[in-house]
Amino acid sequence: MILKPCYHCGEDVPQDLNIQSEIDNNTVDFCCYGCQAIAEFIKGADLSSYYQHRTEKAESALEHDKLDNKFSLIKDPDLYPLYVYIDNDTHHIQMSLKGMTCAACAWLIETRLKQLEGVSSIHINLSTSLATLEWQPDTLDIIEITQEVQKLGYQATPYRADQSDLDIKQSKKTSIIRLGIAGVGMMQVMMSAIAIYAGDMQGMHDNFKQLLGWASFIFATPVVLYSAFPFFKAALRDLKTRHFTMDLPVSLGIGLAYISSVYSMITGTGHVYFDSVTMFTFFLLLGRFLEEAARHKSHSNNRNQQELSSAWLIQDGQATEVPLSKISINDIIAIKSGENIPVDGVITKGNTSVDESSLTGEYLPTNKTLGQSVVAQTINVEQNIEIRVTAIGKQTRAAAIERLTDRALGEKPKIAKIADNVAHYFVILVLLCASATFIGWTLAGSDEAYWIMISVLVVTCPCALSLATPVALTSATNKLKDIGLLVTRGHVIESLARCKHIVFDKTGTLTHGQFEIHQVVSTDKDESLAIASALELGSIHPIAKAFNKHTKHKAKDIRNVTGLGVEGMIDKARYRLGNANFMSDWGYQVDESHFAGLTIYLAKQDEGIIATILLQDRLRPNCQTSIRDLRQDSITVSLLTGDTQDSANAVLDEKEFDHFKYQMSPEDKWHWLNSQSNKSNILMVGDGLNDVPSLAGANTSIAMASSSDLAKIHADAILINSQINTINRAIRLAKKCQRIIKQNLFWAASYNTIMLPAAIMGYVPAWAAAIGMALSSLLVALNASRLSK
Amino acid sequence: MESLYLLIPIAALFVFIAVGIFTWAVKKDQFDDLDREGQRILFEEDDNDKK
């Protein structure tokens, strides 16, 4: 039977679930009460047209596990002025929004907030997911405003731009202006150029020819001096470092062609190349602009999380919520179950279990008792505890990972780009040829020596050569985005093609990173699962995620017992769900399990065990076939996991990998990568905080879509669709791209080699050189467009 | 044909005005959001219906 999609988020609605509402005179289904509440709220606010306008489905309300509101924190007098700009009674704030999928979402939030009294203006930028809000705090509290946003199904956090954000914004603006001026300039110069060429063929008075020349000069000048400025700057840097990249021949081409065009225009001799110069500049800038835009898009807005974390400080037996910045070492703080642990510390009260998966990759929580230490960036799962703070901020274990990351970045192997290697020798050759030609013809006593030299330079102008790589890379990058890999650094495609060794993380990368039900042994499976789901409802223990959130039962008196399981009442009967020790506590013995994953039991008081449930982290689809295919293409495949050997072997077969390493710390992973012989051909795929140093230090790295923000920032590409076989397709595409780049380079180089002797001999008239240059660039661009098919 | 002496400078003037407006627009954050503004016109219509 076909499952109905949820009206709000589009996910499948389970069969026996019956959550329905009347919207626009239709009865519609929902996957959960959260989605229903959002849709009802939207309907109540008279904004139902959101559902007609949207082009993407919304995020499921089940994604919002914790709806904590960070805005209560900025009320702290120290933080308030950092986030809020005060203008008489109107206050201004920027918020970062999570969950927006299309323009309709932005419209929905804007329209809803404008309906509120006390909001003077709201503007949402969809590209950056930032909202600028102006409101009157006397009329309306900021917390009420952000609660409205939450009711619509989005998350808002206070945002404040740091220096790097401002720099990025400024450089983006400058790039747009440069590109715009180059585009407009190119069009104007082309128009004059057509007239000049037509005049050459049909005959035109010299006065008009000169007029058109001046016109193209006026339009080409800003393009060369302003738009092409970044190339000149980079070329100057090349000269200083004595390592020539493509920027040098590009600047040389643009600069010399421009200067000689100006000279020939003033003296009325020779040929003008303004058209070629502007077109060339525009296409190069366009390629760079697209690459930059993709990189900024992956930039996250949530870097000031640390500043917006809070803690419950215990003073004289009283707990008060204070910003994390006010906590110092040896303070006692309380951490509720389900909260993030913000600092390193030692437990002084209570027992609990802690989810340390972000640091170790081990997804089963570890039990922690009095006197044991807990570390920042982990999650307290079961009970409320109190800890004595031992390290804060930069001293914590998690901050040490960031420092390691910085070091790894510094030691990242240099990526040699093919085009830049070619460029190095090409520049030297061109300069030698041009000066030899000039000297030769001058010695031979020719008046035309200068013009022949310009011909040589134009013929060898690296247009086709320097366009050969960028146009192919741009097509390939777009194609990769379509198949599910977002490339954020320019070198990725070249290094993917050369990749000889892929290193995977396990939890969250090859597997989904959470428990799923493998098998249920019971007389009535459905009923047992429904009871188990009811008991686990609302729990944040990783095991709870395996159970359905839609259940017909309702459990009361739920009690979590650390390290054992959960107990609760359903229909006047008492149930327990947990491990073997929890069962024997009631006097029920269980058969020893040989299952490699995790075995838990469901018992009814006075009746005995009614179900055995086997749980396991599951591999992502196509994972095994992808790895086999990679190895068939003679690529080495390794696995590095922070997990124990047993838990790694439970889901993966050691024989499928060339190297299989377990219990690796973040440092171990990075050192292992560094110790490999072919480390410049390694591709690292990971997701967690523990992978970040390796992701930053590896030659090429891919982060999963569900990765931590830090992992995404340091990865070279992001696997948006989370399918492992996308990597196989990406490598194949990268190899094809590499072939096309080589064909392009070959064509450009042979064109230059054939034309060069002719130009040296003085047989190539300037106009023929210009047309040949344009045609060879066109051919290169057409060849690259084959990639997007 | 002599009219070109007048028309080309006028055309150039227009182009410079256009570039000036474009630069001003970029600096005034008009090009900040390349994903949304193209669709805004589709939503504004509803607002007017209600008023």
Span A618-638, pLDDT tens digits: 788 888 889 999 999 888 999
- Return the percentage of chain A with pLDDT > 90, whole number: 8
Q: Tell me, what's the pLDDT at A416?
A: 52
First-to-last alpha carbon distance for chain B, in angstroms, is 56
Give phi and psi for A508, each to the nearest 5.
Answer: 85, -15
Question: Which domain CATH number covers A592?
Answer: 3.40.1110.10
Distance of CA B7 to the CA centre of its chain: 22
Residues A475 and A434 in one domain: yes
Q: Tell me, what's the pLDDT at A218?
A: 92
CB atoms within 10 A of CB A675: 8
Give the three-class secondary structure for A27.
strand
* Span A683-700, pLDDT tens digits: 999 887 788 888 888 888
Give the total number of structural domains in chain A. 7
CA distances from A357 to A118, A354, A511, A594, A690 (A): 43, 9, 13, 25, 9
Alpha helices in A203-241 (DSSP H): 206-222, 229-241
**Between residues A665 and A62, the one the model is more confident about:** A665
Residue type for A622, please?
Answer: N
Residues of A in contact with B34 (CB under 8 A): 127, 293
A24-38, A58-72, A498-512, A641-655, range with the lowest pLDDT:
A58-72
ipTM of this predicted structure: 0.86
Within an 8 Å CB–CB cutoff, is residue A181 touching chain B? Answer: yes
Residue A746 has pLDDT above 90, yes or no: no
Q: Is A151 exposed, middle or buried (0-12, 13-18, 19+ CB in 10 A)?
A: middle
Instruction: Taking residues A750-759, report their average pLDDT.
Output: 81
Residues A529 and A662 in one domain: no
DSSP string, A559-595: EEETTTEEEEEETTEEEEEE-HHHHHTTT---PPP--
Q: Tell me, what's the pLDDT at B51?
A: 38
Q: Tell me, what's the pLDDT at A681?
A: 85
Q: Which two tokens stand for residue A204?
A: 């035109």
Residues A149 and A78 in one domain: yes
Quick check: A176 and B43 CB within 8 A? no
CA distances from A495 to A731, A738, B5 (A): 9, 10, 55
Q: Tell me, what's the pLDDT at A430?
A: 76
Residue A221 has pLDDT above 80, yes or no: yes
Within an 8 Å CB–CB cutoff, is residue A610 touching chain B? Answer: no
Alpha helices in A460-537 (DSSP H): 463-483, 492-497, 525-536
Question: Which domain CATH number covers A231?
Answer: 1.20.120
Quick check: B23 and A218 CB within 8 A? no
Instruction: Taking residues A373-390, report their average pLDDT.
Output: 85
Residues A281 and A312 in one domain: no
Nearest to B26 among A126, A177, A211 (CB): A177
Quick check: A180 and B32 CB within 8 A? no
DSSP A498: T
Residues A290 and A183 in one domain: yes
Instruction: Taking residues A651-659, report their average pLDDT.
Output: 84
Quick check: A180 and B22 CB within 8 A? yes
DSSP string, A343-377: SEEEEEE--EEEE-HHHH---SPEEE-TT-EE-TT
Q: Tell me, what's the pLDDT at A731?
A: 92
* Span A175-198, pLDDT tens digits: 999 999 999 999 999 898 888 888
Residue A84 has pLDDT above 80, yes or no: yes
Q: Which two tokens stand for residue A473?
A: 């890379």
Confidence class of residue A647 from pLDDT cuts 50, 70 and 90? confident
Q: Tell me, what's the pLDDT at A244?
A: 72
Q: Tell me, what's the pLDDT at A63?
A: 58
Within an 8 Å CB–CB cutoff, is residue B24 touching chain A? Answer: no
Question: Which domain CATH number covers A6?
Answer: 2.30.170
CB atoms within 10 A of CB A638: 18
Residues A339 and A290 in one domain: no
Among A34, A63, A92, residue at a domain's last position: A63
Residues A155 and A212 in one domain: no
Confidence class of residue A225 from pLDDT cuts 50, 70 and 90? very high
Q: Tell me, what's the pLDDT at A549?
A: 67
Interface test with chain B among A47, A125, A289, by most B beta carbons within 10 Å? A125
Whether the CB-CB separation of A99 and A105 falls below 8 Å is answered with yes
Q: Which two tokens stand for residue A92?
A: 């201004």
Q: Tell me, what's the pLDDT at A220?
A: 94
Residue listed under structure tokens 């003077």: A120
Q: How many residues appear in chain B?
A: 51
Q: Tell me, what's the pLDDT at B49?
A: 44
Residues A260 and A180 in one domain: yes
Of all residues in chain B, the one with the smallest CA distance to A217 is: B12
Nearest to A127 among B5, B19, B35 (CB): B35
* Span B2-45, pLDDT tens digits: 888 899 899 999 999 999 999 999 998 888 777 777 777 777 65
Q: Is residue A75 part of a domain?
A: yes
Within an 8 Å CB–CB cutoff, is residue A269 touching chain B? Answer: no
Q: Which two tokens stand for residue A545?
A: 């995620």
Q: Is residue A390 part of a domain?
A: yes
* Nearest CA among A760, A10, A23, A130 for reference residue A452: A760
Q: What angle do CA A150, A95, A293 make, to 5 degrees?
A: 115
DSSP A5: B
Q: Is residue A412 part of a domain?
A: no
* Span A333-371, pLDDT tens digits: 888 877 778 888 899 988 888 887 777 766 677 888 888
Q: Is residue A59 part of a domain?
A: yes
Among A382, A407, A432, residue at a domain's last position: A407
3-state secondary structure A692-731: HHHHHHCCEEEEECCCCHHHHHHCCEEECCCCCHHHHHHH
Question: Which domain CATH number covers A117?
Answer: 3.30.70.100
* Span A286-307, pLDDT tens digits: 877 876 776 666 555 555 555 6
Instruction: Give the span between the Cα atoms of A421 and A433, in whole angstroms.
Output: 19
Residues A126 and A74 in one domain: yes
Range of the domain at A782: 419-484+735-789
Confidence class of residue A417 from pLDDT cuts 50, 70 and 90? low
Q: Is residue A414 part of a domain?
A: no
Q: Tell me, what's the pLDDT at A193?
A: 87
Among A365, A385, A407, residue at a domain's last position: A407
Within an 8 Å CB–CB cutoff, is residue A219 touching chain B? Answer: yes
Nearest to B27 among A111, A124, A173 (CB): A173
Q: Tell me, what's the pLDDT at B48?
A: 44
Q: Is residue A413 part of a domain?
A: no
Nearest to B18 among A169, A184, A222 (CB): A184
Within an 8 Å CB–CB cutoff, is residue A215 touching chain B? Answer: yes
Give the three-class secondary structure for A134.
strand
Within an 8 Å CB–CB cutoff, is residue B8 touching chain A? Answer: yes
Residues A468 and A350 in one domain: no
DSSP A59: P
**Between residues A783 and A430, the one the model is more confident about:** A783
Residues A287 and A172 in one domain: yes
Q: Tell me, what's the pLDDT at A646?
A: 78
Instruction: Taking residues A566-577, report their average pLDDT.
Output: 87
* Span A252-281, pLDDT tens digits: 878 888 888 898 888 877 677 888 888 878
The residues with which A638 forms a beta bridge, in sequence order, are: A503, A659
Alpha helices in A499-642 (DSSP H): 525-536, 580-584, 623-632
Instruction: Give the span between the Cα atoms of A653 and A651, in whole angstroms.
Output: 7
Residues A447 and A518 in one domain: no
The residues with which A548 forms a beta bridge, in sequence order, are: none
Give the three-class secondary structure for A91.
strand
DSSP B36: T
DSSP B28: T
Give the three-class secondary structure for A378.
strand
Please provide the average confidence, as pLDDT, over all residues in chain A: 81
Within an 8 Å CB–CB cutoff, is residue B4 touching chain A? Answer: yes
Residue listed under structure tokens 């064909």: A743
Q: Is residue A473 part of a domain?
A: yes
Question: Which domain CATH number covers A347?
Answer: 2.70.150.10
Q: Tell me, what's the pLDDT at A376?
A: 83
DSSP A506: I
Q: Tell me, what's the pLDDT at A363?
A: 67
Q: Is residue A309 part of a domain?
A: yes
Whether the CB-CB separation of A388 and A374 falls below 8 Å is answered with no
**Between residues A15 and B51, the one the model is more confident about:** A15
